[in-house]
Structure 1
Amino acid sequence: MESGSARSSAAPSLFDLMTPYEHEQVVYCYDAATGLKAIVAIHSTELGPAMGGTRMWHYASDEEALTDALRLARGMTYKSAISGLNVGGGKAVLIGNPHQLKNEAYLRRFGKFIDSLSGKYVTAGDVNMTLRDLEYIRMETRHVTGLPETIGGSGASSLITAYGVYMGMKAAAQEAFGTDSLEGKKIAVQGAGAVGSKLIEYLTKEKALVFVSDVEESKLQKISQEFGAHVVSPEGIYDIPADIYSPCALGATLNDDTLSRLSCQVIAGGANNQLADEQKHGSLLREKGVVYAPDFLVNAGGIMAVAAEYFGEFSRDYLFQKAERIYDVCLDVLKKAAQQQNDPHKVAKKMAEDRISSIAYLRQKR
């Protein structure tokens, strides 16, 4: 009895963590020689191979890393489905400090691990992964995409991601303000990374008034000098009296604390898993009258780019045309949500799930 009681009061098991996310498979890799600790979460292969980037992070625990992989992989499934792509959702996380562990041997060992999955999972770049890193992975497997243009890849997908976020933001503005013009709008952008900085370029070209925060001071100085964005502290970004809040860093920034502070009418950004609690905070945004552009819809430009590259269908013009369609899909989701008196995140998920079900049924009939 005592041992059973001890187990029940301990941290949740790995299977307990997996249960809510309904994944097909989770694979672990450990290599003592290189220090590699990796988790690949395969959420769905109903539409095609599970596709999603690899991120490297100094997670506080293995459980935190697993939860991140599970949430991100599920998000990739919805992102691909609602974008009309024939790929499923997956994600890989590398556990550790990228400045200490990442080198050629480490990355090539990870590439061999990816190759052992025989194409069930296709990786790409994400947080703390460079194009050079992907080249090392490519030496061991062909199941990697988002490669440099110099070797026939699509290059940095952040350009397409940022353009898709921009299109989604304009659609949300149309729904909230009756016009999709962002001229004169106060927009608070959280994160000045590859996506956030490019988004700021689009916004300032349209004469929006941009406020930006980031944990890296050097990025802020460059953005401020180049685009005239107003720099605020990482915590202060939530208190700006903005028309639009655009989370473009890590997820879960829409939570109990921040939603009590944000005064915006629109939320549209490039971060994944923006809602700390999808059910609770999605509903709370609707109750507050905030137009929320679902994250997995508006930031789908990146998966559009890497999927097109993997299947040999891409050109730069083609990718921007695909990302531009995010405007129409987002506007459709927002209008349906208003008609159904439902929150947009739920509506978008239902649309994605319906497509997955219909294609799965079609394949069963072959």
Structure 2
Amino acid sequence: MGTHEDVVFAHDRDTGLQAIIAVHDTTLGPALGGCRVWPYENPGDALTDALRLSRGMTYKNALAGLDLGGGKAVIIADPRKDKTPELMEAFGRHVDRLSGTYITAEDVGVSPQDMEAVARQTAHVRGTSATGLGDPSPYTALGVFEGIKACAKHVFGSSDLEGRTVSVQGLGHVGYDVARQLHGAGARLIVSDIHAPAVLRAIDAFGAVAVDPAEAHMVEADIFVPCALGAGLNARTIPHIQARIVAGAANNQLQTPADGEALKKRGILYAPDYAINAGGVISIALASPGGEDTLVRQKTLAIGDTLTAIFERAGTEETTPEHVADAMAEERLAKTRKARPVLKAVSA
């Protein structure tokens, strides 16, 4: 997982809050990363998630060109049963104790209203009505769409998606919006989701064809767009992928590093997830009150250029795109550390 700067186990007796806040790296600035509410089976699973996700945020923020480090928080609770305003306020008090080292925001199981509750107890929060542009998912979707076009340009020689067949797995806020943009660009859509109403909505709006989510990677398509849960690219699924490109919004898509190598060996271009799905964190990090999003859109649209640079370097170095993305993030971190002044001890 790498070395983390801080890992805090937070408990509140009155609300029953059990949370873990992991600060991975603050080289570039305060650690920004969302808060996830999830009914983990045990604290060990929650810790593993917090460590993994916080490290991912360091790389995501670095590669997106943000002056922010990486962190993450997880609350061990069922978001449908256990989450209350009081619980989120208790979490906010623990965030505040870190004095700005960690900045929290929305993640799985957390709503904008929850963040408003957190903001009643700490100023170290983003994505609230006072600090941002609201729901970050449209910006995540915009970045993914731009990334898909960059992938198409690299593989097919053109970013034009007219007539391309695209399989979108997962039709939540981000996945549905990506599907909408793909439809607008003339792509033929194959869609899947465990939530039937979302699938029916896409069929009606986009003339999409539906398949079982477990088969989304198997269908004949030019591009596979995973927008559901992570670890979907693994030894079981990769041999059956028909698409030439895998580019989607899901986090932690590769189950193991070997899976990236397996995609490369099959001639499938993979867009590193934290590079292509950075639009949401960009919107959270750079938004200003009042709804002005020019800078946010500019940075999000640049995701396509970042991916193009990654693909070109991966070709030159004969390695995988995710290795290059990691290297680019690490190079930025190393350069920043090197530029820091060295504090010399003063003799008494």
Q: Same fold per TM (> 0.5)?
A: yes
Task: Work out the CA distance in 1 between the residues paired with 2:285 and 2:132.
Answer: 11
TM-score between both structures, scaled by the size of structure 1: 0.90
230, 235, 240: which one pairs with 1:256?
235
**1:308 touches 1:314 (CA, 8 Å); kept in 2?**
no
The within-5 A match list for 1:52-131 is 52-131=33-112
| AA matched with 1:343 | T
String of CA shifts for 1:309-341, please: whole Å, max 9, x gaps.
37x797222211111101111001001101111
1:354 aligns with 2:335: no
2:244 maps to what in 1? 265
Match for 1:306: what amino acid? I
Relative to structure 1, is the Cα distance of residues 58 and 38 closer, same or farther in structure 2, using a 3 angstrom cutoff?
same
Distance 1:71 1:110, change over 3 A: same
Question: Structure 1 residues 78, 137: CA separation in 2 closer, same or farther (over 3 Å shift)?
Answer: same
TM alignment of 1:257-336, pairs within 5 A: 257-278=236-257, 280-309=258-287, 315-336=292-313
Check if 1:49 corresponds to 2:30. yes
Q: CA deviation at 1:225?
A: 1.9
The 5-angstrom pairing of residues 167-246 of structure 1 reads: 167-246=146-225
Residues 122-177 of structure 1 deviation map (CA, whole Å, 9 limit, x = unaligned): 011011111111111100001110113xx452111111111011111111111111
Shift in CA distance, 31/152, structure 1 to aligned 2, threshold 3 Å: closer
| Partner SS state of residue 233, structure 2 | coil
What pairs with 1:151-170 in structure 2 (closer than 5 Å)?
151-170=130-149
Contact 1:246-1:268 within 8 A present in 2 as well? yes
Amino acid at match of 1:276: Q
- Name the CA distance, whole Å, in 2 between partners of 1:329 and 1:56: 31
- Superposed, 1:25-44 pairs within 5 Å as 25-44=6-25
Report the CA distance shift for 1:48/1:221 in structure 2 as closer, same or farther (over 3 A): same
**Partner amino acid, structure 2, of 1:296:** Y
AA matched with 1:210: L
Task: Provide the rounded CA distance (Å) in 2 between the counterparts of 1:152 and 1:345.
Answer: 32
Q: Distance in 2 between matches of 1:287 and 1:101?
A: 45
C-alpha deviation, 1:32, in angstroms: 3.2
226-235 vs 281-290, greater mean Cα deviation = 226-235
Q: Which of 279, 300, 315 lines up with 1:338 in the alignment? A: 315
Q: Which amino acid in 2 is paired with 1:31?
A: D
Relative to the length of structure 2, the TM-score reads 0.95
- Which moved further from structure 2: 329-338 or 223-232? 223-232
| Deviation of 1:60 (Å) | 2.3
Residue 33 of structure 1 and its aligned partner are, at CA, apart by 2.3
Going by fraction, where is helix more abundant, 1 or 2?
A: 1
> 1:103 Cα shift?
1.0
What is the letter of the counterpart of residue 63 of structure 2?
Answer: I
Change in Cα spacing, 1:204 to 1:277, as seen in structure 2 (3 Å) is same
For the aligned residue pairs, the C-alpha RMSD in angstroms reads 1.6
DSSP-derived class of the 1:245 partner = strand
* Structure 1 residue 203: Cα displacement: 0.4
- Separation in structure 1 between the aligned mates of residue 60 and residue 36 of structure 2, nearest angstrom: 17
Displacement of 1:57 after TM fit?
Answer: 1.3
Conserved? CA contact 1:242–1:264, under 8 Å: yes
Q: Which runs of 4+ in 1 moved over 3 A?
A: none
Could you list the per-position Cα deviations for residues 201-232 of structure 1 after superposition, in whole angstroms to 9, with x for gaps in the alignment? Answer: 11000011111211222222222222222222
CA–CA distance in 2 between the matches of 1:189 and 1:35? 39
Q: 1:185 deviation in Å?
A: 1.2
Task: Name the CA distance, whole Å, in 2 between partners of 1:69 and 1:152.
Answer: 24
CA distance in 2 between counterparts of 1:160 and 1:48 reads 22
Match of 2:346 in 1: none
Structure 1's unaligned 5+ residue stretches are 1-19
| SS of the residue 1:98 aligns to | coil
Instruction: Mark the runs of 5 or more structure 2 residues left unpaired by the alignment.
Output: 344-348
Decide whether the 8 Å contact of 1:35 with 1:101 is kept in 2.
no
Instruction: Say whether the 8 Å CA contact 2:132–2:291 is kept in structure 1.
Output: no
> 2:287·2:296 contact (CA, 8 Å) conserved in 1?
no
Distance 2:11 2:315 in 1: 48
C-alpha separation in 1, matches of 2:225 and 2:341: 41
Q: Aligned pairs, how many?
A: 343
Contact 1:244 1:266 in 2 (8 A): yes
CA drift of 1:362 comes to 1.2
How far is the alpha carbon of 1:109 from its aligned partner?
A: 0.6
Per the TM alignment, residue 47 of structure 1 is displaced from its structure 2 partner at its CA by 0.3
Give, as a single letter, the amino acid of the residue that structure 2 aligns with 1:171: A
